Amino acid sequence: MKKKYSVENILKDSNYVKIVEYFINHEEFQKRKSIPHHGDISVFEHSLQVSYLAYKVAKRMKADQIIAALGGLFHDFYEESWQSPTKKRPFFKKHGFVHAKAACLNAEKHFPEYLNKKTKNCIARHMFPLNPIPPIYVEGWIVTIVDKYISMEIFKDPSKLPSYIGIKQKQKELKYE
């Protein structure tokens, strides 16, 4: 993602940090630093980027900035790397179709007192249209669109696209002469 959305730059916005500081410093959220996301970043970094940009868009649209920030922060709050599944799954049980619900359940498990119906809706429905039911609140649409926008970075390196969508490629054998 662009330099202005680096973790370092995001954390310079004190108003945003007041909203998310407790969560990003929580040990459960810190675990996401070791879970790879699309490209060369972690789930932690991706979630922070989505959260911050959703917060900024919500602010500009006069929507609920806290809902957008938390919805973005927890939208990918799953527990293991999806690029290395431990078992083979049917197509519609693959990560893109199921992780939004898993992320919502996980956020509810660790931060139940901070989630309301709007925040849960942002998290659970952010994968529309892969999940067939769209968000019903403007903040959910903001998180959904911002997540897609940020995830478009993968198109800068088309060779990574197969792994991005969950297709394993055979390693090319290096030949030395």
Under the banding of pLDDT at 50, 70 and 90, the label for residue 27 is: very high
160 assigned to some structural domain: no
Q: How far apart are CA 145 and CA 162, in angstroms?
A: 22
CATH at 83: 1.10.3210
Q: What is the pLDDT of residue 20?
A: 97
Phi, psi (deg, nearest 5) at residue 36: -70, 150
Rg value, the chain, Cα = 16
Strand partners, 42: 36
6-15, 118-127, 152-161: segment of lowest average pLDDT: 152-161
Both tokens of residue 158?
């088309």
161 is a domain residue: no
The whole-number pLDDT of residue 77 equals 82
Q: What is the pTM of this model?
A: 0.80
pLDDT score of 145 more than 80: yes
Q: Is the pLDDT of residue 128 over 90?
A: no
Domain that holds residue 123: 3-155
| 174 is a domain residue | no
* Number of independent structural domains in the chain: 1
Instruction: State the pLDDT at residue 132.
Output: 77
CB 122 within 8 A of CB 137: yes
Residue 177 placed within a domain = no
